[in-house]
Structure 1
Amino acid sequence: MQALNFPSYSFRFKNSENKVSIFDEIRKKFILLTPEEWVRVHVVRFLIDEKKYPKSYINVEKVVKINGMNKRYDIIVFNKDGSIFLLIECKAPEITIDQTTFDQIARYNMTLKANYLMVTNGLNHYFCQMDFEKEQYSFLRELPHFTLHE
């Protein structure tokens, strides 16, 4: 897998029937290693190691109903009260992040109501803070560190 724009992390791998899997520490199981999964496991380690988000507040790859359709979000970080602090959309490194990607995460967030958004393909990272009153988001230089009082 290609090097990503994250600090260097060590991961657990398993090779079975000529397919490589990587251990997902949130789901606590091996997941088939795809380019998008490679980005997702890096984002999780970034959240835990760099931003100090508690592992127990992170949720990965769950189904959510958006406009009556089942969709699957990549990563969510919850607040202590169960509301959603951060919604993250991961793309494979070869996928260009464009307006379509932002439209996708914005649609998801109309239902999920996260305070912060992150969109990444592992090479380029975009961070946003929501303003629900104005129904818009503003770009940030980085994600806030996790604090329990939010």
Structure 2
Amino acid sequence: MQKLNFPTYSFRFKNSENKTLIYDEIRKKFVVLQPEEWVRQHCVQFLIQQKGYPKSLINVEKELKVNNLSKRYDIVIYNPDGSIHVIVECKSAKINIDQSTFDQIARYNLALNATYLMVTNGINHYYCSMDLHAERYQFLKDIPDYTT
């Protein structure tokens, strides 16, 4: 897999039916290692190891409804009160992040009302804070570290 613009992390791998699987410690299972999954697993480790977010507040690959359509978000970080702190949209390193990527995460956020958004393809990372009242986002240099 391609080297990404994240620190180096150690992962557990196994092979099954001619496919490489990577262990997802949030979902507590092995999942097929696709390019987007490689980015997602690095991002999860970044959030845990560099940003200090507890695993118990992180959720990966769950369904949500957006305009009565079923969608799946990549990563959500909850606040201890159950509200959503951060939504992360992961793309394969081969995918350029463009306006449609931001439109996608903004649509998800209409349903989730997160304070922060992160978009990454593993090479480029973009961070935004949400102004839910004005319905716009402001770009940031980083998302905040976890604080209790």
Question: What range is the shorter-chain TM-score in?
Answer: over 0.9
TM-score by length of 2: 0.99
Per-residue CA distance 1:54-94 (angstroms, 9 max, x = gap)? 00000000000110011000000000100000000000000
Which SS does the other structure have where 2:123 is aligned? coil
How far, CA to CA, are the matches of 1:112 and 1:10 in structure 2? Answer: 31
Per-residue CA distance 1:4-39 (angstroms, 9 max, x = gap)? 000000000001122100000000000000000000
How far, CA to CA, are the matches of 1:140 and 1:146 in structure 2? Answer: 16
What are the within-5 Å matches in structure 2 for residues 1-150 of structure 1?
A: 1-148=1-148
How far, CA to CA, are the matches of 1:85 and 1:91 in structure 2? Answer: 20
Partner amino acid for 1:39? V
Give the root-mean-square deviation of aligned CA atoms: 0.5
Per-residue CA distance 1:78-123 (angstroms, 9 max, x = gap)? 0010000000000000000000000000000011000000000000
State the percentage of identical aligned residues.
Answer: 65
Partner amino acid for 1:69? L
Which SS does the other structure have where 2:65 is aligned? strand
Partner amino acid for 2:9? Y
Greater than 6 Å deviation, 4+ residue runs? none
Partner amino acid for 2:82? G
Q: Which runs of 5+ in 2 are unaligned?
A: none
TM-score by length of 1: 0.98
Partner amino acid for 2:87? L
